[in-house]
Amino acid sequence: MADSARRFDLITMGRIGVDLYPLQTGVSLAEVRTFGKFLGGSAANVAVAAARLGRAAAVISRTGDDPFGAYLHRALAEFGVDDRWVTPVGAYPTPVTFCELFPPDDFPLYFYRLPKAPDLEIAAGDLDLDAIRAARVFWVTGTGLSEEPSRSATLAALAARARTGTTVFDLDWRPMFWPDPGTARPHYTEALRHTTVAVGNLDECEIATGVREPRACAEALLAAGVELAVVKQGPRGVLAVHRDGTEVRARPVPVEVVNGLGAGDAFGGALVHGLLAGWELERTVRYANAAGALVASRLACSAAMPAPDEIDTLLTTDGTAS
């Protein structure tokens, strides 16, 4: 078997970039004096989160051909994520993202991804479809559908999977990345046809399904073709509904929030971990919730993805675990 056909536990496909996070909290960017530099981007973060839990993970993405791009390769290597499918694009710089930290619930993002992010230049012809088919879990995001050639590449990868193994669609709705946000729904519908697990918050579920009530969202996602719908409701917890009738409602794990960004990616990496382990749905969702809470309690995202013992400790000390 060629090395390119190595079977990964998880391959994610989507955004990668440099996150510049304030080293002062509770103030606007006008007042921030210094920033820390971190690996970011949802697809990259999910792969890092899974790798931290011991999973063999790789990411398919693109960077600028610049020192920030070199940094992202170095960071992926340090986090144990395979970077063979992260390639440079000469025409665009590596995206940078700033945020403001107003805990507990306001974390505005400022993206520098124009005129086009390199990760939207992923082309179908460059994909290693054998590896994508062979991955135990494959993960795509809604942003990957926002522009060509990334849209066609994302749909080609999903079609190649042909619903073998677990294929996760992170609904990931970021209207500012869409040249015309009104055109999103059909692409979401097409992606859901090839998806076995859909994950999203209420805004994202509404874009994908047209409904917003959590139970209705889950049912609409199941009707669109998925086996498991995971609806994140922020402070109201998570609703997960499986086609087999299993339903889990998990309350949030109480923590002191420092930076809510990245919590969803930690949730995603831990969700993948539980799905791979074959855990019961309730255990998986509770584990993912705890992973998200731990990242929310820390400044960094990728650099703050929790290890298994940290999640176990939180679950055993947290009152909601009883």
Query: Is 74 among the residues that bind its own copies (CB under 8 A)?
Result: yes
Query: Is 278 among the residues that bind its own copies (CB under 8 A)?
Result: no
Query: Is 34 among the residues that bind its own copies (CB under 8 A)?
Result: yes
Q: Compose the 139-178 pattern: x for residues touching its own copies by CB under 8 A, - for all others.
A: ----------------------------------------
Query: Is 36 among the residues that bind its own copies (CB under 8 A)?
Result: yes
3-state class of 195 per DSSP?
A: coil
Query: Is 115 among the residues that bind its own copies (CB under 8 A)?
Result: yes
Among all chains, which residue has been given the structure tokens 């107003």? 102
Give the range of 23-31, 47-55, 215-223, 294-302 binding its own copies by CB under 8 A: 23-31
Query: Is 109 among the residues that bind its own copies (CB under 8 A)?
Result: no
Give CA angle at 96 (129, 298), nearest 5°: 95
Nearer to its own copies, 35 or 279 (CB): 35
Query: Is 110 among the residues that bind its own copies (CB under 8 A)?
Result: yes
Query: Is 37 among the residues that bind its own copies (CB under 8 A)?
Result: yes
28 phi and psi angles, rounded to 5 deg: -75, 165
Q: What is the identity of the amino acid at 228?
A: L
Give the range of 70-78, 153-161, 221-229, 269-277 binding its own copies by CB under 8 A: 70-78
**Other C-beta atoms lying within 10 Å of the C-beta of residue 87:** 17
Contact with its own copies (CB under 8 A) among 56, 71, 84, 279: 71
Contact with its own copies (CB under 8 A) among 80, 102, 112, 202: 112
Size of the residue set binding its own copies (CB under 8 A): 26
Residue 289 parent element (H or E) = helix 281-296
**Other C-beta atoms lying within 10 Å of the C-beta of residue 1:** 8
Q: Which residues contact 40 (CB under 8 A, 6 or more apart)?
A: 16, 17, 18, 19, 97, 262, 301, 302
Residue 202 parent element (H or E) = helix 202-209
Query: Is 123 among the residues that bind its own copies (CB under 8 A)?
Result: no
Query: Is 100 among the residues that bind its own copies (CB under 8 A)?
Result: yes
Using CA atoms, how far residue 153 sits from 84, 123, 132, 150, in Å, is 17, 5, 12, 5
3-state class of 140 per DSSP?
A: strand
- What minimum distance in Å lies between the beta carbon of 71 and its own copies? 4
- What minimum distance in Å lies between the beta carbon of 73 and its own copies? 8
- What minimum distance in Å lies between the beta carbon of 31 and its own copies? 8
What angle do helix axes 263-277 and 42-52 make, rounded to 10 degrees? 50
Q: Which residues contact 303 (CB under 8 A, 6 or more apart)?
A: 38, 39
Chain residues that interact with its own copies, rule: CB under 8 A: 20, 23, 28-37, 66-68, 70-71, 74, 93, 96, 98, 100, 110, 112, 114-115
